[in-house]
Amino acid sequence: MSFQEKNITVSLVNFTLILGFYLIRVFQMVQDGSFNSTNIFRLWGITIVLAIIVTILATILTHIGSAIIHAIKTGEEKPDIEDIEDERDQLIDLRGTKITYVVSSIGVFLSMLTFAFGQPPLVMFSLLIFSGLVAQIIGDISRLVLYRRGF
Amino acid sequence: MEKRRINNNIRKLRFFHNEMTQQQLAEKVGVTRQTIIAMEQGKYSPSLELAFRIALAFGVPLDEVFSYDPDTKSG
């Protein structure tokens, strides 16, 4: 598994956990009757901040972890891990980003549709962040599939 | 999976260049080893610039490394 693949796998796990956290919180709110705009916007903030912090930390930790594992395997003092990004990596990333945008655009459209059909704005906002997280997860999965397939 | 139109002799050329490893070739042309593997397996067609860099690394003309098969369907 290349460094890029490890990074994508870590991102996939992170966003799946964040999506899980988000869904659990939303269902808890619906169950105990606290599903209101104040709580949903707070959850929005927490989810976005969590996504940013976790992504940065995970990238750093993946880099350090890869270097340590490589050093143990090869016994090199200054491990030279393969973290360069070449044209194939860039093409795969581009395709993954395209898939992420398509999925999130569909999500945004569906969210607007719920609003247009008379659902409260809370539903729209809940669906917006849900579709964003799902889009990121699908984008990561497609990147991993492309890496496994070659391109 | 459909075969690609662009074929290459990278594996053969590596063998005839003192059994150059995939890692050595990757370092010479500035890509990852995974990209060399994908090219050798016919799963990835490189850009024109990378194709020239590979030919240059082996010291042979481009058409000795890559060939185009118009009868094969694009993958």
H-only helix segments in A1-151: 3-32, 37-74, 87-116, 121-149
For B32, residues 6+ apart whose C-beta sits below 8 A from its C-beta are A2, A4, A82, A84, A86, A88, A89, B26
Check CB contact under 8 Å for B31 and A86: yes
Check CB contact under 8 Å for B32 and A2: yes
One-letter amino acid at A21 equals F
Sketch the domain layout of chain B as residue ranges.
6-65
Q: Which domain holds residue A95?
A: 3-149
Q: In the CATH scheme, what architecture does the domain B6-65 have? A: Orthogonal Bundle (1.10)
Q: Does B74 touch chain A (CB under 8 A)?
A: no
The tally of domains found in chain A comes to: 1
Q: What ipTM was estimated for this complex?
A: 0.84
One-letter amino acid at A39 equals N
What are the tens digits of pLDDT across the range A121-144? 889 989 999 999 999 999 999 999
What does the pLDDT average to over B33-49? 93
- pTM over 0.90, yes/no: no
